[in-house]
Amino acid sequence: MAKPRPDTNSGTPNNAAQIGTQLRESRERFVALWGQMGAHWGIPRTMAEVHATLFIAGRPMNTDEIIDFLEISRGNASMTLRKLIDWGIVQRVHLRGDRKEYFQAEQDVWKLFRTILRERKKREVDPVLEELRQCRALTDGLAPRNSDDQQQLLGHNNRLNSMLTFLEMVADISAGLTNDAGAELQRAASTLSSATTEQAS
Amino acid sequence: MAKPRPDTNSGTPNNAAQIGTQLRESRERFVALWGQMGAHWGIPRTMAEVHATLFIAGRPMNTDEIIDFLEISRGNASMTLRKLIDWGIVQRVHLRGDRKEYFQAEQDVWKLFRTILRERKKREVDPVLEELRQCRALTDGLAPRNSDDQQQLLGHNNRLNSMLTFLEMVADISAGLTNDAGAELQRAASTLSSATTEQAS
DNA sequence: GCGAATTTTCAACTCGTTTTGAAAGTTCTG
DNA sequence: CAGAACTTTCAAAACGAGTTGAAAATTCGC
């Protein structure tokens, strides 16, 4: 599945300055990219950037470090970190000997996405489903007298139903991917991935 | 999988006025809901609303009808409809005897979501993957002299790699779900759905 | 080809979201 | 318990995505 890729940088030892520069650029581009991507998917840019910063750092950082790195205000950092903690993808840690609060991002990518999926489902999908069911209830079981009405009603109910059925299926899959039997589903998804790519020609 | 649901409205014939009212409310709530949902997922509210309007109407509508229903400007309607057409989930149709252009939404929910998936993948996922690969190239194959650098580099590359691998898998799955062997994958997804819900306890 | 009907474009504007920063609150330390 | 270190809050400012509407462009029928 993984294509062999050529090493892009020389195999000869590099000096520390070089490595530092490359690392810094790599981090910065990753953070920018993540922020941009978040924006496309309805996640505030800064929130995604803070998360990316913590993720790519791979170590706990305190508020000031984040403020300096991203050049954002203290208030913004505070609020954003809180949201990330609410989402469950960043944790507070207390480093002994330091009074400041530190934050670290979940490093397991699968766990990360499961968490995000669970949160978004809970907050955004489930309420939609509920409202959609109420929508259906409005016209469900109405018995029209003339055939024109009947036609309309039938179409309408069919449309609502197919949408609802589909979304319920999506919700089911999410729920399955989300419950703590995570390893199982990781396997399942990988299988699905290879299965689908093979049949794509 | 589908739970039996009780009819919520009486089984006795209803008059036309009643039905009209219920239908209108159902449509309006559906449109509002869809718009709200879109907004959560990075789709402009109006764009989602226009799509919802066409979808739930189940018949071609012209620009003016849409303008009236959603109370938006002509310019807005024009641009939004174009985006929907670009996305491939709305088509232009010409009704004989009418000079106006009409628009109709894809009615097959699966096809609809496959199209959306394909578009978003192409526009938002693939570019991210590309940039992420470039990101990795920056630090890939660097050979640090001291073990501290080595440590850092190793961690960094691991993080980038796990993220990249994961996203590539997601892209693969999307591609599989997306290619025109759609029926197959519909079956696959349903299977996954029931499989995962069964194991969830 | 001309004029009416219709659609598209785009600069200005609007409005909701995000960010700021200073003030208030909290928690820790001596 | 007082004072310092640090965090959170929130009203106001900045910002930008989305919207408008009138003018330009296009299309169609005669």
pLDDT (tens, 9 = 90+) of chain B, 201 residues, equals: 555 666 666 666 677 778 888 899 999 999 999 999 999 999 999 999 999 999 999 999 999 999 999 999 999 999 999 999 999 999 999 998 888 999 999 999 999 999 999 999 999 999 999 999 999 999 988 887 888 888 889 999 999 999 999 999 999 888 888 876 655 556 666 666 555 545 443
Distances (CA, A) of A30 to A37, A51, A52, B159, B163: 10, 11, 7, 11, 11
In this complex, is the C-beta atom of A184 within 8 Å of any C-beta atom belonging to chain B? yes
List the nucleotides on chain C closer than 7 A to a protein CB.
Answer: 5-11, 17-23, 28-29
Residues B114 and A23 sit within 8 Å (Cβ to Cβ): no
DSSP A124: I
Between positions 61 and 120 of A, the ones with CB within 8 A of B are: 107, 109-110, 113
Helices B63-70 & B45-57 angle (0-180, nearest 10): 110
Helix (H, G, I), strand (E, B) or coil at A18: helix
Contacts of A15 in chain B (CB under 8 A): 145
pLDDT digits (tens, 9 = 90+) for A140-187: 888 888 888 888 999 999 999 999 999 999 998 888 888 766 555 566
Angstroms from B93 CA to nearest CA on chain A: 20
Residues B93 and B60 sit within 8 Å (Cβ to Cβ): yes
Residues B48 and B37 sit within 8 Å (Cβ to Cβ): yes
Give counts: helices (H), strands (E), chain A: 8, 5
Least confident range from A62-71, A75-84, A117-126: namely: A117-126
Contacts of B153 in chain A (CB under 8 A): 19, 23
Residues A134 and A191 sit within 8 Å (Cβ to Cβ): no
In this complex, is the C-beta atom of B9 within 8 Å of any C-beta atom belonging to chain A? yes
pLDDT at A199: 44
Neighbours of A52 (CB within 10 A): 23
Cα–Cα distance for residue pair B21/B145, rounded to 1 Å: 76
Kindly report which amino acid residue has its CA closest to the C1' atom of nucleotide D20.
B73
Which nucleotide is nearest, taking the CA of residue A79 and each C1'?
D8
Cα–Cα distance for residue pair A44/A80, rounded to 1 Å: 9
Kindly report which amino acid residue has its CA closest to the C1' atom of nucleotide C17.
A44
Q: Find tokens 């750092």 and name the residue.
A: A57
Query: CB-based contacts of B136: which residues, under 8 Å, 6+ apart?
Result: A26, B157, B160, B161, B164
Of the partner residues B41, B152, B193, the one whose CB lies closest to the CB of residue A23: B152
Angstroms from A138 CA to nearest CA on chain B: 6
Cα–Cα distance for residue pair A171/A128, rounded to 1 Å: 11
Residues A184 and A146 sit within 8 Å (Cβ to Cβ): no
Take residue B32 and report the two structure tokens written for it. Answer: 């509002």
Helix (H, G, I), strand (E, B) or coil at A91: strand
Take residue A4 and report the two structure tokens written for it. Answer: 């062999």
Cα–Cα distance for residue pair A79/A47, rounded to 1 Å: 9
**Chain centroid, CA B84 distance in Å:** 11
- DSSP, residue by residue, B90-139: EEEEE-TT--SEEEEE---HHHHHHHHHHHHIIIIIHHHHHHHHHHHHHH
In this complex, is the C-beta atom of B131 within 8 Å of any C-beta atom belonging to chain A? yes
